[in-house]
């Protein structure tokens, strides 16, 4: 079984990492762009984001993709990240709330239901048991037909990207904090099929690092 980092270690790591998270755009942005395209955000009214980091995705969705009346709730367990996201998203006023989370996955107190549940490069940190909890609680937080929109690290699809993802997984096994606690996943295979319908699953490679995009709908 793969060892994942504890919530306290994740909080400590991301409190220190802070704004450096935005430097990961060199491999994240291509995947996030595709997730935005497939997630149909121009029709969304209420978005919940788990692990918003510095609020980069929220800012992008609110300024360029969501209807003017759409609301956004973003959470993170790192107080540094929440501070950065609040500064960045202040200009959206009441449309956006950034909340400090204790790292738990009960989303019922965040003012749902939502029609999009978004998370990018966060599930990569979590144990399989926690990912299952996220699926169950996201299902409860979404309206019928609501979409789960994910981008995250995955296994490679070509010789080069397979080498990168294998090396990444190896480093994660040796010392997870060297890679921010993240490891490659095959997330689409983990959705319980009786509760979710996977509408899209794609892998994109940027700077030799493979990312998986999954859009799944509640059944």
Ligand X SMILES: C[S@@+](CC[C@H](N)C(=O)[O-])C[C@H]1O[C@@H](n2cnc3c(N)ncnc32)[C@H](O)[C@@H]1O
Task: Tell me the closest approach of the beta carbon of residue 90 to ligand X, in angstroms.
Answer: 18
Residue from 34, 35, 89, 182 binding ligand X (CB under 6 A)? 182
Task: Tell me the closest approach of the beta carbon of residue 152 to ligand X, in angstroms.
Answer: 9
Helix 25-38 and helix 56-64, axial crossing angle in degrees, nearest 10: 40
Task: Tell me the closest approach of the beta carbon of residue 28 to ligand X, in angstroms.
Answer: 6
CA distance 177 to 182: 8
Determine the interface stretch with ligand X among 65-73, 74-82, 157-165, 200-208 (rule: CB under 6 A): 74-82
Q: Determine if 154 is a binding residue for ligand X (CB under 6 A).
A: no
Which CB atom, from 75 or from 164, has the smaller least distance to ligand X? Answer: 75
CA distances to 115, 141, 198 from 195, rounded to whole Å, are: 16, 13, 10
Residue from 62, 112, 120, 212 binding ligand X (CB under 6 A)? 120
Where residue 54 falls (left for φ over 0; alpha for ψ -120 to 50; beta otherwise) is: alpha
Query: Which structure tokens are listed for 60?
Result: 């992008």
Q: Determine if 53 is a binding residue for ligand X (CB under 6 A).
A: yes
Which CB atom, from 69 or from 74, has the smaller least distance to ligand X? Answer: 74
Task: Tell me the closest approach of the beta carbon of residue 194 to ligand X, in angstroms.
Answer: 25
Strand partners, 198: 216
Determine the interface stretch with ligand X among 35-43, 44-52, 154-162, 198-206 (rule: CB under 6 A): 44-52
Task: Tell me the closest approach of the beta carbon of residue 165 to ligand X, in angstroms.
Answer: 16
Determine the interface stretch with ligand X among 38-46, 47-55, 65-73, 188-196 (rule: CB under 6 A): 47-55
Number of residues that bind ligand X (CB under 6 A): 23
Query: Which structure tokens are listed for 89?
Result: 């998203």
Cβ atoms of residues 183 and 2 within 8 Å: yes
Determine the interface stretch with ligand X among 76-84, 109-117, 188-196, 198-206 (rule: CB under 6 A): 76-84
Task: Tell me the closest approach of the beta carbon of residue 143 to ligand X, in angstroms.
Answer: 22
Give the footprint of ligand X on this chain (CB under 6 A): 7, 10, 14, 21, 28, 50-53, 56, 75-78, 81, 101, 103, 120-122, 125, 180, 182
């Amino acid at each position: 079984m793969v060892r994942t980092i504890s919530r306290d270690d994740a909080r400590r790591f991301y409190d220190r990492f802070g704004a450096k998270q935005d430097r990961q755009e060199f491999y994240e942005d291509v995947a996030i762009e595709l997730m935005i395209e497939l997630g149909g955000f121009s029709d969304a009214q209420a978005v919940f984001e788990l692990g918003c980091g510095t609020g980069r995705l929220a800012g992008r969705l609110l300024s360029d993709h969501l209807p003017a009346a759409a609301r956004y709730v973003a959470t993170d367990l790192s107080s540094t990240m929440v501070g950065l996201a609040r500064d960045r998203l202040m200009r959206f006023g009441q449309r956006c709330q950034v909340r400090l989370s204790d790292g738990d996955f009960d989303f019922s107190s965040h003012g749902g239901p939502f029609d999009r549940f978004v998370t990018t490069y966060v599930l990569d940190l979590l144990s399989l048991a926690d990912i299952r909890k996220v699926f169950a609680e996201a299902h409860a937080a979404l309206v019928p037909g609501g979409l789960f929109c994910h981008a995250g690290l995955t296994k490679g699809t070509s010789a080069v990207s397979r080498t990168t993802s294998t090396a990444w997984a190896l480093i994660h096994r040796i010392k997870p904090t060297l890679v921010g606690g993240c490891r490659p996943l095959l997330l689409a295979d983990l959705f319980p099929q009786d509760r979710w319908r996977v509408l899209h699953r794609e892998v994109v490679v940027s700077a030799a690092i493979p990312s998986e995009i999954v859009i799944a709908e509640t059944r």
